[in-house]
Structure 1
Amino acid sequence: MRTPADTDTSLDTEPGATAARTPFDLAEADRLLTTTRSVRRRLDLDRPVPREVLLEAIDVAQQAPTADNAQNWRWLVVTEPETKEELGALFRTAWEFHRSEMTQRAGRRRDSASSRRNMASAETLAMNVARVPALVIPCVLGAPPDPADIDARWMVANAHKADGDPAFSVRPGHLRSSMFYGSVYPAVWSLQLALRARGLGSTVTCLHLPFRDRAAEILGIPRGITQICMLPVAYTIGTDFRPARRHPAAERTFWESWGRGQ
Structure 2
Amino acid sequence: MTGLPFDVLETDRLLTTTRSVRRRLDLDRPVPRAVLEEALEVAVQAPTANDQQNWRWVVITEQAVKDQLAELFDISWQFHQKEVWTRSGRRRNNPQARKNNASAAALAETIARVPALVIPCVLGRPPDIGAIDAEWLGATGTRNLGTWQEGVRIGAMRASNFYGSIFPAVWSFQLALRSRGLGSTITCMHLPFERQVGELLGIPAGVTQVCLVPVAYTIGTDFRPAKRVPAKERTSWERWQA
TM-score normalized by structure 1? 0.88
SS of 2:121's partner is strand
Equivalent position to 1:152, from 129, 134, 146: 134
**Aligned-residue CA RMSD (Å):** 1.7
SS of 2:73's partner is helix
Taking structure 1 as reference, are residues 33 and 163 closer, same or farther at Cα in structure 2, changes over 3 Å only? closer
Q: Which amino acid aligns with 1:31?
A: R
Partner residue in 1 for 2:20: 38
Is structure 2 residue 230 aligned with structure 1 residue 251? no
Give the whole-Å Cα distance in 2 for the aligned partners of 1:84 and 1:109.
31
Give the whole-Å Cα distance in 1 for the aligned partners of 2:200 and 2:72.
11
Give the whole-Å Cα distance in 2 for the aligned partners of 1:45 and 1:249.
35
Partner residue in 1 for 2:35: 53
Give the whole-Å Cα distance in 1 for the aligned partners of 2:151 and 2:106.
50
Taking structure 1 as reference, are residues 240 and 206 closer, same or farther at Cα in structure 2, changes over 3 Å only? same
Is structure 2 residue 178 aligned with structure 1 residue 196? yes
Mapped contact 1:151–1:172 kept (Cα < 8 A): yes
Give the whole-Å Cα distance in 2 for the aligned partners of 1:244 and 1:107.
24
Alignment gaps of 5+ in structure 2? none
For residues 67-95 of structure 1, the C-alpha deviation after alignment (integer angstroms, 9 at most, x for no partner) is 11111101100000011111110000000
Aligned positions of 1:97-136 closer than 5 A: 97-136=79-118
Mapped contact 1:163–1:169 kept (Cα < 8 A): no
Once the two structures are overlaid, the 10-residue window that deviates more, 100-109 or 230-239, is: 100-109
Is structure 2 residue 12 aligned with structure 1 residue 21? no
SS of 1:138's partner is strand
Q: Give the number of aligned pairs.
A: 242
For residues 152-196 of structure 1, the C-alpha deviation after alignment (integer angstroms, 9 at most, x for no partner) is 012222333235397887421111110000111000000000000
Larger radius of gyration: 1
Partner residue in 2 for 1:6: none
Q: Which amino acid aligns with 1:151?
A: D
Mapped contact 2:91–2:98 kept (Cα < 8 A): no
Equivalent position to 2:187, from 205, 218, 235: 205
Q: Which amino acid aligns with 2:83?
A: E
How far is the alpha carbon of 1:21 from its aligned partner?
Answer: 1.4
Give the whole-Å Cα distance in 1 for the aligned partners of 2:88 and 2:149.
43
Give the whole-Å Cα distance in 2 for the aligned partners of 1:108 and 1:182.
31
Mapped contact 1:162–1:168 kept (Cα < 8 A): no
SS of 2:70's partner is helix
For residues 224-261 of structure 1, the C-alpha deviation after alignment (integer angstroms, 9 at most, x for no partner) is 1000000000000000001110111111111111117x
Give the whole-Å Cα distance in 2 for the aligned partners of 1:212 and 1:231.
15
Mapped contact 2:25–2:183 kept (Cα < 8 A): yes
Give the whole-Å Cα distance in 1 for the aligned partners of 2:87 and 2:238.
35
Mapped contact 2:86–2:92 kept (Cα < 8 A): no
Taking structure 1 as reference, are residues 136 and 116 closer, same or farther at Cα in structure 2, changes over 3 Å only? same
Taking structure 1 as reference, are residues 199 and 120 closer, same or farther at Cα in structure 2, changes over 3 Å only? same
Alignment gaps of 5+ in structure 1? 1-18
Partner residue in 2 for 1:177: 159
Mapped contact 1:77–1:137 kept (Cα < 8 A): yes
Equivalent position to 1:222, from 189, 204, 210: 204
Give the whole-Å Cα distance in 2 for the aligned partners of 1:182 and 1:109.
28
Give the whole-Å Cα distance in 2 for the aligned partners of 1:178 and 1:200.
29
Equivalent position to 2:74, from 92, 111, 118: 92
Give the whole-Å Cα distance in 2 for the aligned partners of 1:158 and 1:78.
46
Aligned positions of 1:60-71 closer than 5 A: 60-71=42-53
Q: Which amino acid aligns with 1:64?
A: A
Partner residue in 2 for 1:187: 169
How far is the alpha carbon of 1:223 from its aligned partner?
Answer: 1.7
